[in-house]
Each structure stands twice: as structure tokens, then as C-alpha cells.
Amino acid sequence: MMEMTKTEVRGVPVIVLSGRLDMAGAQEIDLKFTAQTSAEKVSTVVDLSGVSFVGSMGIRMFIRNTKALALSGHKLVLAGAKNEVAEVLRVAGVTDAIELFDTVDAALDSLTT
Amino acid sequence: MKTERLELAGTVDSLGPAAAFVERLAEEAGLSTKGAYGLQLAVDELVTNVVTHAYAEQGRTGPVILEAELDDASLRVAIEDTGEPYDPTGQPPPDDLDKPLEERKIGGLGIFLVLKSVDWVSYERRGDRNRVVLEMKRQVDRDG
């Protein structure tokens, strides 16, 4: 089961995800996640600290949303992934294109300075 | 040698039970956190493929059968489905992982992650079934 909440920190939207981002998890939140990033069309931080697992379907969701935001010159950045999740993102080649920060604060710093 | 079998419906609802099955066996085998995660990822990607490509997209239904074998050297998990013959080990790797995101195709990533996440992958067609076997060595230093 995936949960998604949205907050705003320092004027930047932060999407907080928790649970297993496998195919079932991606199906659960994809519409809501995509609606969120496409509604505001501003750079957005995704807090992954509560995510225990990310599979290819979750990775595709991040890639698709990053591409969509890039069209308006904005970014999707990831933050707080646990070691194994960060490793999968690296192996998948995602971290070349989507920045991954240790903490939400560091991600916010990159967007606001 | 210890063997266990779990038969699930080939639907998205089976991903959770499959993950729990693998997690328990990985713990029993004493795999590192990284090794356990890799095996779970590989099983998840293969079951996802079966549910979507072997069954849903073909308008078919069928089972996903997990068979685990644990011996002194390794933990092997076999995933079986009754879809059309499909050998994931014969798929070319995505050729665009090093390209900028804007130029990359979406797809092909699941099998790539399977091959990267476990020590050995093999495939055979057994009767009307595809059988993919994933193997993890029990005593390997995976740097955490």
C-alpha cells in the first residue's frame, strides 16, 4: 500500500511518499502524483524516506513526471531514499537525470539557492 | 535441501504475497540486506512482467508459481507462468541508459534490473510453462 501526501516547505511543493512503490503501489498513486506535478508546473521535491521498495514501474513514474516538468523548465528531485532504493535508482541510470539528495533540506537548498 | 512452493493468481494483488515469501526466505538464508533487496526486486519485476505481458495484455489469466530451494550454498527462487514462451535472459539490455533522459525510451528497465540484481538467472520452457530461476549465493560480500 502506498500513501502520498503533499506539503509545502520554503514555498516548494514536497510530495511525501510511503510504502512499496511496486506495480501495485505505482498504480495506486500514479494519477494523483501526475496530477500534482502537472497542476502546479513548478519544481517539486519527492520525499522517499518512507519508501521501502522501488521497482521499474515506480522509476517510470518518476521519469515520466521529470520529462513533463522539464518541458516547462522545472525539475523533479528525489530526497531521502534509503540505501537499497538509492542503489536501484543508480543502477537504473536514473540518478544521471534526476537528482537524488540525502535529505529533503538538501533538495530544497538545490532548488531555492 | 529445503523446498517451498507458493501458487498465486497472476494478478497485481499477488505482488505483496510474493514479496513476503521472498523476504522470509532471504532472511532464512541469511542474505545481506542488499542481497535480500536484490532478490525481492528481481522477483517483483518478473511477477510484474507475467501479470502484465503474459496475462493481462493477452487477455489471459493464469497462475504465478514460486518455488524456492535453499541449500548450503545458495537460495534459488523459480517463477513459473503459463503464458506464451518468453525468455527474459534473451532480451537485449536497454541501449539508452547512458542517454539523456529526454531521449530515453520507457520500458525494458524491469528485465535489466533483474539481471543486475541477482547472481544468476536461467530460463527454460517446461511443458506449457515458462520457468525462470533466480539464484543468490548465501556467502557473498555484497558491500552491505
For B21-41, what is each residue's pLDDT tens digit?
999 999 999 999 999 999 999
* Three-state DSSP state, A16: strand
* A chain contacts of residue B12, beta-carbon cutoff 8 Å: 23-24, 27
Q: Which residue of B has its CA nearest to A22?
A: B44
Q: What average pLDDT does the segment B121-138 reach?
A: 97
A45-54, A62-71, B132-141: segment of lowest average pLDDT:
B132-141
pLDDT 10s digits, A52-105: 999 999 999 999 999 999 999 999 999 999 999 999 999 988 888 899 999 999
Q: For position B94, what pLDDT does the model report?
A: 66
CB A110 within 8 A of CB A79: no
Domains of chain A are 3-112 (3.30.750.24)
How many Å lie between the alpha carbon of A11 and the closest alpha carbon of chain B?
27
Q: Looking at B14-23, B39-48, B73-82, B108-117, which range is the least confident one?
A: B108-117
> What pTM value is reported for the model?
0.91
pLDDT at B125 over 60: yes
Inform me whether the C-beta atom of residue B142 falls under 8 Å from chain A C-beta atoms.
no
pLDDT grade for B96, boundaries at 50, 70 and 90: low
B104: pLDDT confidence band, cut at 50, 70 and 90?
low
Centre a 10 Å sphere on the Cβ of residue A2 and count the other Cβ atoms it contains. Answer: 21
**Other CB atoms closer than 10 Å to residue A56's CB: what's the count?**
27
**Domains along chain B with CATH numbers:** 2-137 (3.30.565.10)
Task: Kindly determine whether residue B52 and residue A23, on different chains, have CB atoms separated by under 8 Å.
Answer: yes
Q: Residue A19 pLDDT more than 80? A: yes
Q: Is the pLDDT of residue A27 over 90?
A: yes
Sequence-distant contacts of B28-33: CB under 8 A, at least 24 apart: B28/B70, B29/B70, B29/B74, B29/B75, B29/B136, B29/B138, B30/B138, B31/B75, B31/B136, B31/B138, B32/B140, B32/B142, B32/B144, B33/A83, B33/A84, B33/B144
Q: What average pLDDT does the structure give for chain B?
A: 90
User: Residue B116: which of A55, A67, A91 has the nearest Cβ?
Assistant: A91
Q: What pLDDT, on the 0 to 100 scale, is given for residue B58?
A: 92
**B108 pLDDT higher than 70:** yes
Q: Could you tell me if A90 lies within 8 Å of chain B, comparing CB atoms?
A: no
Q: Select from B37, B106, B144 the Cβ nearest to the Cβ of A60.
A: B106
